[in-house]
Chain A
Amino acid sequence: AQTVTQSQPEMSVQEAETVTLSCTYDTSENNYYLFWYKQPPSRQMILVIRQEAYKQQNATENRFSVNFQKAAKSFSLKISDSQLGDTAMYFCAFMNVLYTGKLIFGQGTTLQVKP
């Protein structure tokens, strides 16, 4: 069974600085997707970034980038130039290509951006 672990329950960062959220996962599969979702307080969850396991190049989306280490089964999220609007719960998630649609989420990391 696949599992996703986020070992940092809470983190904080000063506005305009950089922060990295950690995620590790366990799977015996070779083809899968990894995601980072953002859930702001009292607002709906939105997709931040996605990585296909077959791609060696790390995904980037504006200020958000990932460090995907397939052998180590590690998938960290870097947020550059942090903004107050980045304050949210961040979830790392895994999806097996063979079971598309079934997202397996980590426990989440609460990120607070301080002014």
Chain B
Amino acid sequence: EAGVAQSPRYKIIEKRQSVAFWCNPISGHATLYWYQQILGQGPKLLIQFQNNGVVDDSQLPKDRFSAERLKGVDSTLKIQPAKLEDSAVYLCASSLGQIEQYFGPGTRLTVT
């Protein structure tokens, strides 16, 4: 069984630029999550999708972050414009139910 795929693995941008991350969940997993993991901290949930609907986006900075999950499969997370404090690893996870989550390798973003 293929795991959660993410791309790119690494991205370096300048502040005020835009960036997008892509996630492909495990086949059949209805629930998809995006987490932000700042260096030295635990992951923080940004947004949770159930199929193509948003379940929880209470911690998503909506003035600059957006996410979508078209057709209930792949998802993209966008930051526009990026700030220095957005430097982090962005993790995508998926789950069949909503208990056990499977994580992707993450995208490491550096904002200079």
Contact = CB atoms under 8 A, between A and B. Distances in A.
A28 interface: no
Given A33-B99, A101-B31, A107 B41 contact: yes
Given A33-B99, A101-B48, A102-B48, A107 B105 contact: no
B61 interface: no
B44 interface: yes
Interface in B81-112: 91, 95, 97-101, 103-106
Interface residues of B, number: 24
> How many A residues touch the partner, as a band?
20 to 34
A93 to B, nearest CB: 7
Would you list the 6 A-B pairs with minimal beta carbon distance, nearest first? A105-B42, A100-B98, A101-B98, A45-B103, A44-B105, A44-B103
Contacts of A95: 99
Given A44-B103, A44-B105, A45-B91, A105 B43 contact: yes
Contacts of B44: 105
Interface in A62-115: 91, 93, 95, 99-108
Interface in B12-64: 31, 33, 40-45, 48, 55-56
A102 B56 contact: yes
Contacts of B104: 44
